[in-house]
A and B are shown apart, each in its own frame.
Chain A
């Protein structure tokens, strides 16, 4: 043991590589900086390769959500129903917002709003926690981190589709007959899903650095909900306000997707030939498409920009 204090270095390069500095050696063999962020295109390719993971993760999480509840998966239907009941009691019965709605359609109008807004609300909330709640997974395995916020949006979408069953029953019970506009439900939901994915990616990056944000989110979301007109028609309340505020309110993405889906589900509420009807804001589809695609692109690039930082420190 005591023969050599400076043994043949196991670390130094040998043969043809002898004398190279570590950096030169790394360059020669094409080694990359550990944990470096891939290019946007390579990243998208990696993400696409993980599509099965995203789907399996979302499904597993959705199932696990209610494992501790006795009623289990039934809560997925009961929770939205209870929500609607509370809103109907407060806004429909006590505050009587249902004036100005043909027949008994207020309940359908309200339920669509509640479910659609909750879809975006949940996307924001789970997006904020997507990184910070899954640090164990992030630190253990290597995968494109955008998989997580996207998987959480898929969970919300699966939940929404369950709520949709409740919704269809409510709409039919309110005496609205299905029409051709029901076909518009699909593109409207797709656009909203795109928008939600984008906003969830943005929130995931913010939430991964600033944990304080999760304390603030409930207040922001509540303010957004009241400003979007979930339980009353915001368009009808601000008709005497300046034009630019009306334009601004009409472009609010939450209102846009709510109105798109309300119009698709129950066009009778917006029918100008009815004695009482709701105003349908103009340019609804244009706004919906712009918000969906725009938010998704912004969110995706914004999230990717910090890819190498998630789970660090």
Chain B
């Protein structure tokens, strides 16, 4: 399974050719402000006294999720992000997508990166059909383009494999079906930078194979793909480069095989 990717990595190793960067992450720090942390801060009396004393809410705690990460991603690369739970992988991805402000440092991207996560619910009370159409329109397609792509998206998602589910509201879908449809919608458009957060883990075997092929296609159409996953095998299959993040710091950045095997053995360089 993994051997198909090894051949592509060799060509990238050419050290003299300037490559076109698509994402530049320059010494980025990300700090979350969590409201409602601490005890008793939500009570009416403390809220009143806070308003009267005009103090900034004492219940706000800061979480330093990413501490000075730098890397550059290039055209045509598929990069895996690995690390234990809470290491800051998903935070990093959200920041690249422009959904989280950086405390320090900068993130520069080519075009608008698109984040695809399992949690990114679309409109649950609407039918799958409406979700496909609205999702495509929101991404900036014209109605004619949506009409042309519609059947492909539905077929790709495999929602209709077991009967006519596309005309049911999305709240009736299983979590796997929902994730599949969302992935299919987002992958219907070629993105300069596509960020995928665990989306591959939810689908069934056949869908996982289809989505891997689709990611390959997206990469070939001159995009960059980031993949966050706890499934090391899917990282091995999809990505040739992997970044290992631990406690908000970059541990290792290199060829997938090298980084993942070290990660599996728990050897920090």
Q: B-contacting residues of A (Cβ < 8 Å)?
A: 1, 5, 7-17, 21-23, 25-26, 29-36, 46, 49-50, 52-53, 56-57, 60-61, 64, 67, 136-137, 139-143, 147, 308-309, 311-313
Contact = CB atoms under 8 A, between A and B. Distances in A.
B99 A25 contact: no
Interface stretch (B12-20, B38-46, B203-211, B213-221): B12-20
Given A60-B130, A64-B130, 18 more contacts: A9-B254, A10-B254, A13-B21, A15-B16, A22-B25, A29-B21, A29-B110, A31-B23, A36-B98, A50-B137, A50-B138, A61-B126, A67-B125, A141-B135, A142-B114, A311-B99, A312-B99, A312-B101
Contacts of A141: 114, 135, 138-139, 186
A190 B137 CA distance: 26
B59 interface: no
Determine chain B's interface SS by DSSP, over half rule: mixed
B29 interface: no
Given A14-B15, A52-B142, A140-B182, A67 B21 contact: no
A14 B71 contact: no
Contacts of B143: 52
Contacts of A12: 72
Nearest to B71: A11
Given A15-B17, A22-B70, A142-B114, A1 B138 contact: no
- How extensive is the interface on chain B, given as a class? 35 or more
Nearest to A59: B130
Contacts of B95: 34
Interface stretch (B115-123, B156-164, B229-237): B115-123
A29 B106 CA distance: 15
Contact of A15 (B18, B94, B115): B18
A64 B169 CA distance: 9
Contacts of B22: 31
B16 A1 contact: no
Contact of B108 (A9, A17, A26, A147): A26
Contact of A143 (B70, B125, B139): B139
Contact of A23 (B16, B106, B137): B106
Interface of B: 12-27, 32-33, 70-72, 94-101, 106-110, 112-117, 119-123, 125-126, 130, 133-135, 137-140, 142-143, 169, 182, 186, 241, 253-255, 258, 261-262, 269
Contacts of B126: 60-61, 64
A20 to B, nearest CB: 10
B108 A140 contact: no
B140 A136 contact: no
Given A5-B269, A22-B72, A56-B133, A142 B112 contact: yes
Contacts of B16: 14-15
Contacts of B12: 10
B137 A34 contact: no
Nearest to B95: A34
A137 B122 contact: yes
Contacts of A30: 110
Contacts of B17: 14-15
13 contacts: A10-B241, A10-B253, A13-B19, A15-B16, A23-B106, A26-B26, A32-B109, A34-B108, A35-B98, A52-B142, A53-B137, A60-B134, A67-B125
Contacts of B26: 21-23, 26
Given A26-B108, A31-B109, A60-B130, A11 B253 contact: yes
A238 to B, nearest CB: 34
Nearest to B269: A5
Given A49-B140, A313-B33, A35 B97 contact: yes
B241 A137 contact: no
A107 to B, nearest CB: 36
A312 B123 contact: no
A31 B137 contact: no
* 6 cross-chain pairs, A with B, having the tightest CB-CB distances, nearest first: A35-B98, A140-B120, A26-B108, A15-B18, A53-B137, A31-B108
